[in-house]
A and B are shown apart, each in its own frame.
Chain A
Amino acid sequence: MKLSISKIIIFCFVAFSLFVFWKGLKKDNNYDTTELIGSKISNFQLIGINNDDRYISQEDLKKNKFTLINFFASWCAPCRAEHKYLLNLSDKKIKIIGINFKDKKNNAMNFLKELGDPYDFVGKDSNGKISILFGVYGIPESILLNSDLIVIKKIVGPIDQIQYDEILKLAQ
């Protein structure tokens, strides 16, 4: 076999691909976002669900001692289940920002009308892009921030009694 540039390139390309596969076998495949705890959230701007001029950004959250950001949608069944805990947290004077994930406005409004509105502000994220900034990959998810905008707790899945108690403890 006579070697030529094109042959060498093909060999290198194949070898490189196989090498990547080999490296890939060793990597941890579980998508884990717990590493986000302790990190600061990036800058964002959230438009209100009513499409009016209201919006909030990271600056507004700095005023709160603690903020719980909850990602929800009317079509999400577990969101329904965790809703009463959010209402209780709201009664305990915890600021809650709701981010309405890939939802229709009317459905979301009906959802809140039916179950009660625990949120101080509801932002819309109809294509799910803002939620990605927060490292969310499924809903419901909630993150608890302190006034420095550092994530101090992350809850993947619905909030239950245990999580509820922990949030209260952290936010005391």
Chain B
Amino acid sequence: MLSNIGIGLIVLVLILSFLTIYAAYLDLRTSSQYIKKRIYQLSLLQTTFTVLSFFTLIIGYINSDFSLINVYENSHTAKPFFYKIAGAWGNHEGSLLLWVNILVIFSYLFLVFNHKHNKRFRLYTLIFQNFLILGFLFFLLLNSNPFNSIYPIPLEGLGLNPILQDPALAIHPPLLYVGFVGCSIYFSAAMASLISGYGGKLFAQSIKTWVKISWCFQTLGIIVGSIWAYYELGWGGFWFWDPVENASLLPWFAITALMHSLIVLEKRNTLYSWVIILCLLTFILSVTGTFLVRSGILNSVHTFASDPSRGIYILVFLSLMIFSALIIFFTKNKKETFNFNLESRETFILANNWFMAFFLVTVLIGTLYPIFLDVLSGVKISVGPPFYNIVIIPLVIPLMFLMSIGPQFSWIKSQNKFFYKTLFLMLGAIAINLFILYFFGKYSLLSNLIFTTAIFLILHSCFDVKKLFINKNKAELPRIISHLGFGLLIFFIGINHQFSLEEDFNLKVGEIKKTNNYEINFKNTETKESKNYTAVIGNFKLTNLKNNLVQYLDPEIRIYSNPETLTYEAAIKTKITSDLYLTMSNISRSDYYNIKFQNKPFMVWIWISAIMIALGGFIQLTLKKNEA
């Protein structure tokens, strides 16, 4: 029943997509200045049906309707209600439906909210967006249909991978999807802009909001994924330079560059071609990332989503997208001349772009090179944290320096009036760094430079906040918050990296282990039955030998029944100054448990500063036009 409704709705959306393209094409030939009402109606209808199809799938999950293969494979009656809903996008087919939803919703919203802009530009955007929608609809119907039915109907489902049954991971995909699929709309808009000749400043205004929305969601999505990895994977780390994480970073670098160049395009009416390239690149990288993750060409934590037959489809789609983008760009793009003064804000914004481009290329090479080498020569290599740390970290130093002083310059040309302030803040930053170095321990020259520039950026941002209160000019607020967030992020990651404590050992119940000012007493274990798993909980008493502070931590080993899996839940005691992190895992055929104990300073501040970066973007969205 649900299967038929779902497929019916998808087919309707497909037909509406064709109709929209046709109607838009006809409307392009009329001389009227306004888009026909019928096109709005078609687009609205399309949005309604798409959203309904997604609700149909969610209803299938809520009611545990195992006549749908998708529900049968990814859900179970014993699953908590919240995860039943989240199950709808916790798998390939369901997430693809979510993907289509975002394409369609963004298509409609872009059409409606840009009513002041040129008609031809909007119609072309609608046409290109609908081509994208069609591509994904065919993929959904032919290869990855979430509404495929199964007969005879199974009595029970196979369940969702327990490691995914987590609040952070339930919201991680939707956030990332709004971020990544949201890029589609300015991919279409960029193509439309090239064809209709509607470029420059006005084009920048038309896509500005959409770029910000997708940037915010991408940033937030990446952070949530990272938080999840921290407390769920049980390694105590939060970024692993895993190929799939990299796949999510690639569009992020492109979109961050785009967001900055877009300001130049809007203010100075220059860099148009570069903005177009970034618009196209961001979505192309999103789809490339999807291809890498879903096709199984990479091996990583996200392999639950892989299947080579999907790979072929996405690859064909990707090829069509790239080649049509290239052809249209090369045919329509006009030469531009630039006239930038070295001491102007636009120069520094361009500098941001150089850094983003560098990071993008580094991560792209690190991610793709092993694949290329393996495919072409059969040699297997793995590119991991050492490569990224060596190549990327030193470059963060000049980036942070420029992030501090760049915004001090004004547009076109500025008199350098802030030299003494910069010098003063730099000396302050050096002093604070030396203070940390003197009182808390030695670290390398590179770390010294990182701390100093991070503190410099933080100080600079704080002074900017002060200036903001004097000038009462809210427009700078989002930038300051995001830049301040970035400075804090690097600072706390540095501190965390420098002063973390990690111990690995084996312990039996009743044993006590003394290590680095901590006494760890493994008191006992108990078992607890929960709705869909049984947990073995270890009770640990932790005594800080320095101040005799006692804390109790209880890491768990969870035994899920559907599907049968073991997961290890870390016990984390978060304080303002540090996190205590304890995991235990059983050792087969032994009374011993493997214990991993970590003391990670300022962990919570890493999250707070990362969220600040995203927050800046959200604040920008709420600012009214005259304020921004």
Contacts and interface: CB of A to CB of B under 8 A. Distances in A.
A42 B510 CA distance: 47
Q: Majority SS of interface residues in chain B?
A: helix
A75 B594 contact: yes
A14 interface: yes
Interface in B550-600: 585-590, 592, 594
A48 interface: no
A75 B587 CA distance: 11
A26 B594 CA distance: 39
B376 A20 contact: yes
Task: Report the interface size class on chain A.
Answer: 20 to 34
Q: Majority SS of interface residues in chain A?
A: helix
Given A20-B375, A25-B315, A26-B308, A80 B330 contact: no
Interface in B302-357: 308, 311-312, 315, 318-319, 322-323, 326-327, 330-331
Contacts of B312: 22, 25
Nearest to A30: B299
Interface string A38-77: 0000000000000000000000000000000000000101
Nearest to B291: A21
B159 to A, nearest CB: 25
Contacts of B586: 77
A29 interface: yes
B318 A18 contact: yes
A81 B299 contact: no
A1 interface: yes
B372 A20 contact: yes
Given A1-B330, A26-B308, A80 B291 contact: no
A27 interface: yes
A80 B506 contact: yes
A11 interface: yes
A10 interface: yes
Contact of A18 (B296, B297, B315, B594): B315
A1 B315 contact: no
Interface string B56-87: 00000000000000000000000000000000
B371 A14 contact: no
Nearest to B310: A25
Contacts of B368: 17
B380 interface: yes
Contacts of B166: none
A29 B297 CA distance: 7
Contacts of B592: 77, 80
B511 interface: no
Contact of A29 (B296, B323, B504): B296
A23 interface: yes
A20 B371 contact: yes
A11 B318 contact: no
Nearest to A18: B319
A22 B326 CA distance: 20
Given A27-B374, A77-B592, A107-B505, 13 more contacts: A1-B330, A1-B331, A11-B326, A14-B323, A18-B322, A20-B375, A21-B371, A24-B297, A25-B308, A26-B308, A78-B588, A80-B506, A80-B592
Interface of B: 291, 295-297, 299, 308, 311-312, 315, 318-319, 322-323, 326-327, 330-331, 368, 371-372, 374-376, 380, 504-506, 585-590, 592, 594
- 6 shortest A-B CB distances, which residue pairs? A77-B587, A1-B331, A25-B311, A75-B504, A24-B375, A77-B594
